[in-house]
Structure 1
């Protein structure tokens, strides 16, 4: 599936700029990182960032990925679903940090196989990149991807914080003792970004 980009010319310009940018100190990986998108990702003008701002276009879960180039300690480049893409780990302190995050985003087995085993309601929520009360942590991860490590340092925490493009507002996903979503916290416009309406 091709990435849907709201500004096709901007995407083309980004590809040209990226090729010039890569001509510097970029390194080709001896073994490309291949697999599938772990979850729904949110590109911003061709960048998928670990900051993971919710809103805008979606790269769906289960898209084929080939990453063959890295630069500095934060960037990986390649294709997702056949389209050129750049990944940026905003919190990486080393290349190992960036590669660890990249391998969370790019998984070896198509997650849609797992998605197909979940209830119809959860499947609809994931395909819409939304969350419904009762979802588990793995289901939220597949739907929204990983929250920024700056705000959610422990994935076992009872609250995961995501930022939205709606007025740059946060929304918190609240988990109960059983590890399932119990509700949301944030401004109504931010909550609407993530809450699946039955």
Structure 2
């Protein structure tokens, strides 16, 4: 029995240490980095636009209330929710939390963009010529399991589990094209 308890303690130590580190250095409040979808309790990093989800706009105030296993516990618009690290587990929880909860309100930058870019971002859509930052605000971060480098020429996203789209960047770092089947393209590209 003593040996089993020691084994359990040894297995729990890395998780406890990671959670303590995250709790000590993650922002306690800030703003949602980007448009994210919620079912009212769960916001997944994959950001599927499924039936029953609604869009929470970039810049919405967020308060971090704690951490769980692969999740950042938050309060948004008076509602307790979790931002789930479902597909970006290649990064530690603190880095993940800092990605989605930012100290600076992205609305300040959003307000300075041209009208068509602002409208596309507010609708959660993309358009050619957008910068990487504008893509992030509009559709969220690409999951790190499929996109380990944010400076890559192509970012892979999913509108749903069967609707992939790829954002292709030109040498100037701006969206050159969005590659997807016609139905998905109509949902993600502002024309």
SS at match of 1:42: strand
TM-score (norm 1): 0.77
Shift of 1:98: 1.5
SS at match of 1:130: coil
Contact 2:158/2:165, CA 8 A, preserved across alignment: yes
Match of 2:156 among 161, 169, 181: 161
Match of 2:121 among 98, 107, 126: 126
Tell me the distance in 1 between the aligned counterparts of 2:49 and 2:172.
26
- Between Structure 1 and Structure 2, whose CA radius of gyration is higher? 2
Tell me the distance in 2 between the aligned counterparts of 1:81 and 1:104.
19
Aligned residue in 2 for 1:106:
101
RMSD over aligned Cα atoms: 2.3
Aligned residue in 2 for 1:61:
58
TM-score (norm 2): 0.80
Greater share of residues in helix: 2
Count of aligned pairs between the two proteins: 169
Contact 1:133/1:182, CA 8 A, preserved across alignment: yes
Contact 2:170/2:176, CA 8 A, preserved across alignment: yes
Shift of 1:193: 2.2
SS at match of 2:35: coil
